[in-house]
Amino acid sequence: MTKYKTAFTAGFAMFAMFFGSGNLIFPIIIGAKTTDKFLTATMGLMITGVIVPFIGLFSMILFQGDKEKYFGLVGKWAPFTISILILSLIGPFGVVPRCILVAFGGVNLLYPTIPLYIFSAIFSLLIILIIWQKSKIVPLIGKFLGPLKIVGIALIIFVAVKQSPELIPMSQAGNPFILGITQGYQTMDLMASLFFSITIVEYLRSVCKSKNETIRLSIMSSIIGGGLIALVYVGFIYLGAHYADRLIDINPEQYLAVIAQITLGKHAALIVALTIFLSTLVTAASLVKLFAEFLKTDIAKEKISWVNSVFVTIIIGYGLSLIGFSKIASMLHAVLSYIYPALITLSISAILYKTYGFRWTKQLFWLTILAFAGYGFV
């Protein structure tokens, strides 16, 4: 396998892993809220939705995916405490059930008779099938599911942009740039990147001959994955801005499906529902894998099997998916306002530590938490 093929496979895998429920919703929300000011909002989202997650990804790759050493920069207690907090939020207690609900929103628009509890059970079963062979997850996502997701999303954006109505100024955002930044928090991609990097490192290590080659290919992969995400964000924000008047009184998890139905028609919108389903499924599978591994190794100390840890993770995610999107969003909102800025500080400090021997990571981490605690910036 050539290094370029490896980089593209890993880059597509990064895109597929990152691009899940929040990425399908919040860029469109940004466009709908800012309309004629959507370009300013886009710049804000590029910072927290693209640049910051890949800074986090690269910072962890510099540590070769060793979360003990990485989070240990904050304190001896940090590797376990920060890990369980992040993995719970991006895993079965937050993003995984959100993925299920976003996928359900697209399918339910076309087939309203399907009950949530049945749909969620089928979705959960498919997650298990994808991660059953955990050593093959990056090639599976990067070579097959990732490209299929990209093609589906590109089709939606192309057709919807081509048929987009004239933009009607109806901005609801006080500061579109700040809105773009804060909605980038809601994607939670920085949190995910700190653990997705472990999967990426494991894959690159299997094909690279040295640490330097692993780092070089990780940079190439990040540029590919980040570039794809940025292009899709621009397209989705544009759609949100131009279709804003059509999205009034529509649930956010159905925005993309509604736009597709308007532009493609009900039958063609089946493609969109499939794309949304595939996008959320890939991300959910990646997150279930991460939490299940942590449950098995760090929480249970190898006292439960990999299979049992996967089933426990799936059951939690399934149960929480039944409480609804808004309740999950409220739960996540309460934590992100102060932990997300602190993780940004940690990512930048970790890079400085590896490159220049920076020693003030712990102090900056806590200062950031104190600065944002209770501020409700998200």
- Distance (Å, whole) CA 122 – CA 282: 14
pLDDT at 120 over 90: yes
d(CA 36, CA 21): 25
Greatest pairwise CA separation for the chain in angstroms: 60
The C-alpha torsion from 267 through 273 and 274 to 275, rounded to 10°, is 120
Of the candidates 144, 16, 71, 3, which has an alpha carbon nearest to the alpha carbon of residue 346? Answer: 71
pLDDT digits (tens, 9 = 90+) for 44-59: 999 998 999 889 988 9
Work out the pLDDT band at 378, boundaries 50, 70, 90.
Answer: very low
Alpha helices in 357-378 (DSSP H): 361-372
Q: d(Cα 297, Cα 267) in Å, to the nearest integer?
A: 46
Tell the burial category of 358 from Cβ atoms under 10 Å away from its Cβ (0-12, 13-18, 19+).
middle
* Residue 113, pLDDT above cutoff 60: yes
- Of the ranges 244-253, 288-297, 360-369, which one carries the lowest mean pLDDT score? 244-253
What number of other Cβ atoms are within 10 A of residue 234's Cβ? Answer: 18
Higher per-residue confidence, 17 vs 22: 22
How many angstroms separate the CA atoms of 364 and 314, rounded? 36
Q: How confident is the model at residue 41 (pLDDT cuts 50, 70, 90)?
A: very high
Rg (CA), the chain: 20
Gap between the Cα atoms of 40 and 149, Å rounded: 27
202-260 pLDDT, tens digit per residue, is 777 777 677 777 778 878 888 888 888 899 899 999 999 999 888 888 888 888 888 88
Confirm whether pTM is higher than 0.85. no
**Looking at residue 268, what is its pLDDT?**
63
| pLDDT digit string, tens, across residues 210-222 | 777 777 887 888 8
For residue 377, pLDDT beyond 50 = no
At 209, phi and psi to the nearest 5?
Answer: -95, -15
For residues 256 and 235, what is the distance between their CA atoms, to the nearest angstrom?
12
Q: What is the structure's pLDDT at 117?
A: 94
For 163, phi and psi rounded to 5 degrees?
A: -100, 10
